[in-house]
Structure 1
């Protein structure tokens, strides 16, 4: 019986053996973003231990730490009122000896480019801002140290969430006898439009307590989504390829559904590569 080949995406070669640390823009330092920041620190430490150049992370978030964040975000009482980005980046830098940077401001054109964009935001508008900026780069086709290759987007509502990896431009794929290479992974904004993203949008009124916040989001949905996204990113670095590009998670009945690298998106490759 003939074995059916799986579709796979092979990592952009630069990320596997870079001259300088791979640059990352982490947009959002809330429940998911702060968990992802810790995961990035662990990935950086592991990569450096394996002889890789590691990561250089920018954290972008305009909000400050509030007491209502207790439980979902890990912080000390002295950090209440500090910018989230500054507090969390300082902690990682002290712990791991990194020199990562914090931008306590909204995402904008002032934020430098990076090889990987990671969005952990509950704003549909910010996602489309990220998409627009990356599409502008795609049109210019400039290549330099901070050339963006991937965009990983996280989203969740009360007890469900998802993470999805996209390519900024079509990535040249090697020939393979075992897999069918897929060069382009579409943006979440193109693939799902505002339907999926709008489904996440809810009451964004600031919570006055953790009890009130838990009415909007379950306690472990952020960290669960972040852990799965971090595992996906680690697999990309460690194995150099992916057969899954994301996952849908439902904590209410503990279901997970992987998002496969698919042939359905191959039709867009020629358009983006041309």
Structure 2
């Protein structure tokens, strides 16, 4: 008789039950991953409303403009070239789908004037924005291992973090909670799984043409990573639980693997 080991499962936070108020989301980045993920958020919002929930309240933050090369690999159209990416996405959803979401056409940093969010999504192609998010949203009772806290308390307890990252044809998604930066924490963050993001140098050079963009990243990598991210949110909001901490993807081999939760270190919390 084969003995099956029960895998750790996490129960959804109260704000993700979606019974009394919309889930407040800040999405940082509206490019490759962000523009794909945004379409998924629109679908997720309307699915929740259809099922009697309160849906999503989404704020998108990006200071970049749509370029001709973006039309090939990002979710923009030729008539949007020259428009701010955050505004283009949000206006499209508000006009076509009846949402009342917000666009902030500016670059995110730790001093950005923002309110309280249940979930922060980093859909960016650089590490600096992730470091700024860590500096901005880490709660003061869990920031001992965060080298970017420089001005004291910044975040709120129980702010969750969905991070999307990819290179040419590989990607990963991690759903965690700001401050849980160890693998044995309740909701380990991307920093817990990839501590090298604290020291690695960025290579976030913009692509000057559609051909260069496709050479640097596979056409379908953003859609694949964003699909995995939306699936995690759907599981949390629909089933009120999550059985995996993240997902690793490799389009070159067709490999997809869930990142399991580890047993919780009860001495920390």
Structure possessing the higher relative contact order (Cα contacts under 8 Å, 6 or more residues apart): 1
Q: Give the TM-score of the pair, scaled to structure 2.
A: 0.86
Partner of 1:175 in structure 2? none
1:188-267 aligned at under 5 Å gives the runs: 188-195=190-197, 198=200, 201-202=202-203, 204-263=204-263, 266-267=264-265
Using the TM superposition, give the Cα deviation of residue 242 of structure 1 relative to its aligned residue in structure 2, in angstroms. 1.1
SS of alignment partner, residue 138 of structure 2: helix
Structure 2 Cα separation of the partners of residues 14 and 55 of structure 1: 11
Partner of 1:131 in structure 2? 134
Larger proportion of helix: 1
SS of alignment partner, residue 70 of structure 1: helix
Partner of 1:156 in structure 2? 166
Partner of 1:114 in structure 2? 117
The runs of at least 4 aligned residues of structure 1 exceeding 3 Å deviation read 136-143, 195-199
SS of alignment partner, residue 90 of structure 1: helix
Structure 2, gaps ≥5 residues long:
143-152
Which residue of the other structure, out of 165, 176, 190, is the alignment partner of 1:166? 176
SS of alignment partner, residue 215 of structure 1: helix
SS of alignment partner, residue 5 of structure 1: coil
Structure 2 Cα separation of the partners of residues 127 and 142 of structure 1: 14
RMSD over aligned Cα, in angstroms?
2.4
CA contact (8 A) 1:65 1:82 kept: yes
Q: Give the TM-score of the pair, scaled to structure 1.
A: 0.84
Q: Which one is further off, 105-114 or 51-60?
A: 105-114
Using the TM superposition, give the Cα deviation of residue 77 of structure 1 relative to its aligned residue in structure 2, in angstroms. 2.5
Count of equivalent residues: 253
Q: For residues 76-100 of structure 1, give each alpha carbon's deviation from its aligned partner in whole angstroms, at most 9, with x where no partner exists.
A: 3321111000001100111210010
Q: Which one is further off, 118-127 or 68-77?
A: 68-77
